[in-house]
């Protein structure tokens, strides 16, 4: 997914843009570029490869300061070449722009303009936008951009400069996110809000069909007819340090280590005196809660697996009719949805298009919708309205870690709160689980002690050459297997399958051998004997065993020497203590295998297409 950074102000434009692009490095990209306008001229540098390479090239060319835009490209239309990298400049050298998204009718526009004698220089869909803008530009940027928005179809975040308009940056947004900020005579725009944190926390999220003009005096917003409107800033309660890697080798490792804190933050203000209370977040009444006959959890990837854990936990309270649905399927099946449905959409980024489409569907069918997201004012939050915001701070590593445990925390609290509103939560269950949750940050911290991490690193070293892994558990120990296997697949590129331990014998057992180790999740208080009897059978097929077991489980050492101990916890909360060992295991396997951990191949942080 491409990244954009724009700057207008009196500081070192080039440095600010390069630094801003570096903050988008977690998004997959293949090439990068920057354009600065100084003395009425567009100075541009582009390169294939990393931002560090772009930075060297820019230095050689000695850009002077001015106002500028930068871009990291993940090729869609046209090969990965320097020439196809953004920014793109119109043939008359008057307009320069960068683009995220896809222009569906690019070819049609190109054919039209070529027939009018305009020469195209790249294979990109983006060039049709810049050439069209230059074609219709008569000195009024807003007029030209509104014409462009009426001519192009598709999704876009465009950031545009005109060489004859000093210190002006324009943005146009439709179906692709971009944020804008302003402080002390400096204006900014970026794809990722965390790129603006060192300058300001008060930002504007561009809406669909919206234009913005950013200059030293401030920002103005218009609709696609050019009519100006007032727009409130949003305050991001994130800080710049949250988006820094600190002394950690990777963002993923840093974010794994942040989990005791993020879980504690999520509990803050929602539990007191051994009681759960979400009334500050939700204005639901017991009557409403009793009226929802069906609960749909809808999400993708890790967020989906957090909901699978939550559903298993909520089942233990009884009386819930719950479905956990993958968002990309939800919209295309004939699942009964209506006013008696509570549809809960879980998305770290708040921008995942499958989840957004599913939310629109549920809303159109009259379901009560709620979002759990890590990004306040993200697209889904703005569209759905009711939301629980996980306070995990920006997550930069592509593989979700701290947002997963923050989601788990929020989901458990929500499940308990709903059960309580419906009169189904026993007091002793509430006390027991709240005690379990409030002791969780300390338990997670114990899983991050050096000795623990070294043990996991050692086990990972021994198994880094395996061909694939099976993750197994039963009941409440099964959902964390799904997430553990996903983590390994994403960052180490190894096949990993999660199975309920009792299900293996129905087929997958055929795959077991010495090259396919089993990661057995065997907490003492969740069907230990049944799981171990499965594992014993699988060991006979030659698969080595790595056990995630409860501390002081001495019996487990009869089966394997590869043991990762987790602290004792309530069975319902096992997903929490399983998360960190499995994240660390995936991390150290990927590290052994020399994989690009923070930017795994083919993956993006938010799947917006
Ligand atoms: C896994 C991962 C993805 C996301 C999925 C949904 O580590 O990051 O599987 O969980 O793309 O993303 P959100 O939660 O932003 O909707």
What is the mean pLDDT of each successive set of 10 residues along the chain, which is 609 residues long?
Answer: 91 93 82 93 93 87 78 86 94 96 94 96 94 98 98 94 97 89 94 90 89 96 96 81 83 95 96 95 96 97 98 90 96 94 96 94 97 92 94 91 98 97 95 97 97 97 96 98 97 96 91 95 95 91 95 93 97 98 98 88 70
Residue 443 within any structural domain of the chain: no
Assign residue 475 a region (left: φ > 0; alpha: ψ between -120 and 50; beta: otherwise). left
Beta bridge partners, 35, equal: 44, 69
Which pLDDT score is estimated for 63? Answer: 64
**Residue 497 and residue 419 share a domain:** no
For residue 246, the model assigns a pLDDT of: 83
Based on the fold, state whether residues 67 and 150 are members of the same structural domain.
Answer: yes
Domain boundary pick from 420, 438, 456: 438
Whether residues 464 and 422 share a domain: the answer is no
The pLDDT score that the predictor gives to residue 325 is 98
Q: What is the CA radius of gyration of the chain?
A: 26
Q: Residue 606 falls within a domain, yes or no?
A: no
Cβ pair 326, 349 in contact under 8 A: no
Closest ligand 1 atom to Cα of 354: 16
392 within ligand 1 shell (Cβ under 6 A): no
Q: How far is residue 137's CA from residue 139's CA, in Å, rounded to a whole number? A: 6
Domain-located, residue 608? no
Q: Is 488 in the pocket of ligand 1 (CB under 6 A)?
A: no
**Looking at the 3D structure of the chain, how many domains does it have?**
3
Distance from residue 175's CA to the centre of ligand 1 (Å): 19
Predicted local distance difference test score (pLDDT) of residue 233 = 87
pLDDT at 66: 81
Residue 36 falls inside a structural domain? yes
For 563, the enclosing helix (H) or strand (E) is strand 563-566
- Residue 25 has a pLDDT of 79
Distance from CA of residue 215 to its chain's centroid? 30
Instruction: State whether 214 and 259 are in the same domain.
Output: no
Q: Does 606 sit in the ligand 1 pocket, CB within 6 Å? A: yes
**CATH number where 404 lies:** 3.40.50.10490
> Cis peptide leading into 87, omega within 30 of 0?
yes
Q: Cα angle at 132 between 127 and 133, to 5 degrees?
A: 100
Residues 299, 430, single domain; the answer is yes
The domain boundary residue, chosen from 370, 404, 438: 438
Instruction: Say whether both 344 and 276 belong to one domain.
Output: yes
Q: Using an 8 Å Cβ cutoff, are 328 and 354 in contact?
A: yes
Residue 189 is among the residues annotated as catalytic for this protein: no
Q: Quick one: which atom of ligand 1 is closest to the CA of 487?
A: 7
Contact 400, 375 (CB under 8 A): no
2 given a catalytic annotation: yes
Residue 599 lies in a domain: no
Residue with tokens 């190894």: 494
Q: Of 211, 242, 273, which residue constitutes the final position of a domain? A: 242
**CA distances (Å), 509 to each of 481, 513, 519, 531, in order?**
17, 9, 14, 15
Together in a domain, 358 and 217 = no
User: Is 302 in the same domain as 185?
Assistant: no
Q: Is residue 47 part of a domain?
A: yes
Inter-residue contact 499 to 535 (CB < 8 Å): no
What's the rounded Cα separation, in Å, for the pair 373 and 281?
Answer: 13
Identify the domain containing residue 59 by its residue range: 3-242
Q: What is the Cα–Cα distance from 251 to 421, expressed in whole angstroms?
A: 39
pLDDT at 243: 75
Residues 2, 189, 369, 595: which is the catalytic one?
2
Choosing from 23, 402, 443, 605, the catalytic residue is 605
Distance 220 CA to ligand 1 centre (A): 33
Look up tokens 């530009």; give the residue.
137
Whole-angstrom distance, CA of residue 444 vs CA of residue 578: 9
Sheet holding 495-500, edge to edge: 495-500, 468-473, 518-522, 545-550, 563-566
In a domain? residue 308: yes
Is 222 inside a domain boundary? yes
381 and 457 co-located in one domain: no
Tell me how far the alpha carbon of residue 383 lies from the centroid of ligand 1, in angstroms: 19
């Amino acid at each position: 997914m491409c990244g954009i950074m724009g700057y207008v102000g009196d500081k070192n434009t080039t440095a600010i843009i390069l630094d801003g692009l570096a903050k988008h490095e977690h998004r997959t990209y293949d090439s990068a570029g920057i354009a600065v306008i100084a003395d009425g001229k567009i100075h541009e540098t582009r390169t294939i490869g990393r931002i560090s390479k772009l930075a060297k090239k820019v230095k050689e060319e000695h850009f002077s300061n001015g106002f500028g835009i930068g871009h990291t490209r993940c090729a869609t239309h046209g090969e990965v070449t320097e020439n196809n990298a953004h920014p793109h400049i119109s043939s008359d050298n008057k307009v320069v722009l960068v683009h995220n998204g896809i222009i569906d009718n690019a070819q049609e526009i190109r054919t039209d303009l070529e027939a009018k004698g305009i020469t195209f220089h790249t294979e990109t869909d983006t060039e049709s936008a810049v050439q069209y803008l230059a074609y219709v530009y008569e000195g009024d940027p807003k007029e030209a951009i509104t014409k462009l928005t009426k001519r192009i179809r598709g999704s876009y975040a465009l950031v545009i400069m005109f060489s004859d308009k000093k210190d002006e940056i324009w943005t146009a947004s439709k179906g692709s996110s971009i944020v804008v900020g302003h402080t002390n005579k400096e204006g900014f725009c970026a794809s990722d809000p965390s790129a603006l944190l060192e300058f300001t926390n008060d930002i504007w999220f561009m809406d669909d069909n919206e234009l913005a003009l950013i200059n030293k005096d401030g920002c103005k917003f218009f609709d696609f007819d050019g009519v100006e409107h007032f727009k409130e800033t949003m305050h991001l309660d994130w800080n710049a340090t949250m988006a820094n890697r600190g002394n950690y080798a990777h963002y993923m490792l840093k974010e794994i280590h942040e989990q005791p804190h993020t879980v504690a933050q999520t509990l803050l203000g929602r539990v007191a005196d051994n009681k759960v209370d979400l009334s500050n977040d939700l204005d639901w009444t017991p009557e409403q809660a009793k009226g929802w006959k069906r609960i749909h959890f809808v999400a993708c990837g890790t967020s989906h697996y957090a909901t699978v854990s939550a559903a298993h936990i909520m089942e233990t309270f009884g009386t819930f009719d719950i479905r956990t649905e993958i968002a990309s399927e939800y919209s295309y099946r004939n699942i009964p949805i209506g006013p008696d449905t509570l549809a809960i959409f879980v998305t770290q980024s708040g921008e995942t298009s499958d989840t957004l489409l599913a939310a629109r569907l549920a809303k159109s069918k009259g379901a009560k919708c709620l979002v759990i997201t890590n990004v306040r004012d993200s697209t889904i939050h703005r569209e759905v309205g009711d939301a629980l915001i996980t306070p995990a701070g920006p997550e930069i590593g592509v593989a979700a870690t701290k947002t997963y445990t923050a989601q788990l925390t929020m989901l458990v609290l929500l499940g308990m709160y709903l059960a309580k509103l419906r009169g189904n939560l026993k007091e002793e269950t509430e006390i027991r689980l709240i005690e379990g949750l409030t002791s969780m940050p300390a338990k997670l911290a114990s899983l991050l002690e050096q000795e623990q991490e070294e043990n996991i690193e050692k086990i990972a070293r021994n198994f880094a050459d395996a061909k694939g892994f099976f993750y197994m558990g039963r009941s409440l120990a099964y959902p964390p297997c799904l997430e553990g296997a996903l983590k390994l697949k994403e960052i180490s590129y190894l096949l990993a399958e999660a199975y309920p331990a009792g299900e293996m014998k129905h087929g997958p057992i055929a795959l077991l051998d010495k090259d396919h180790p089993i990661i057995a999740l065997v907490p003492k208080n969740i069907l230990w004997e049944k799981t171990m009897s499965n594992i014993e059978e699988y060991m006979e097929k030659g698969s080595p065993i790595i056990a995630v077991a409860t501390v002081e489980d001495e019996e487990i050492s009869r089966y394997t020497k590869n043991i990762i101990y987790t602290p004792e916890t309530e069975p319902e909360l096992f997903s929490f203590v399983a998360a960190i060992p499995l994240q660390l295991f995936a991390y150290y396997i990927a590290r052994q295998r020399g994989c690009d951990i923070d930017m795994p191949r083919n993956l993006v942080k938010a799947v917006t297409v």
